[in-house]
Homo-oligomer: A and B are copies of this chain.
Amino acid sequence: MSDDVAAPTEFEIPEGYALLDWRRGFGRQIGPLYRRAANGSYAMGFRVEEHHTNGMSNAHGGMLMSFADMAWGHIVSVEQSSYWVTVRLTLDFLASAHLGDWVEGAGEVLSREDGLYVVRGRIWSADRQLITGSGVFKAIQKREPRPGEKAYVAKS
């Protein structure tokens, strides 16, 4: 008997964050991702693991972009509980995140018209800005409000 059995990987996850339990598709593939939500505000986060890295053991640009897309577009879900698609995204890369870093992201609405959201977003790790940018997201089909979304909070 030995104790070198495979144990689930454990990370220290900052307080307030809960796992986004995506069980399929690209969301699962690039996970685990986390979210904190309170009073209609939110942020998303992830710990940089090996499968997120480039050849320099930093978070791959593609991973940070995918995360930015999700973290910034998520505000459409928060605001009006609907599915959404990305129309345009502009990202400025300011600094890199290293293996093991905790990375966070969030967006704020600049304008909203006919279901088209213009969002200003940022991605950061501790006190370092990693990406700033903006996105245009189009709300499509409405769905049932979920925890952390304004309509859900209003109902409960």
Contact = CB atoms under 8 A, between A and B. Distances in A.
Contacts of A54: 25-27
A89 interface: yes
Contacts of A66: 60-63, 65-66
A51 interface: yes
Interface of A: 24-30, 50-56, 59-63, 65-67, 69-70, 73, 83, 85-93, 96
B90 A89 contact: yes
A50 B24 CA distance: 8
A67 B88 CA distance: 16
Contact of A29 (B29, B61, B70, B85): B29
A95 to B, nearest CB: 11
B26 A52 contact: yes
A53 B27 CA distance: 8
A52 B62 CA distance: 13
B83 A93 contact: no
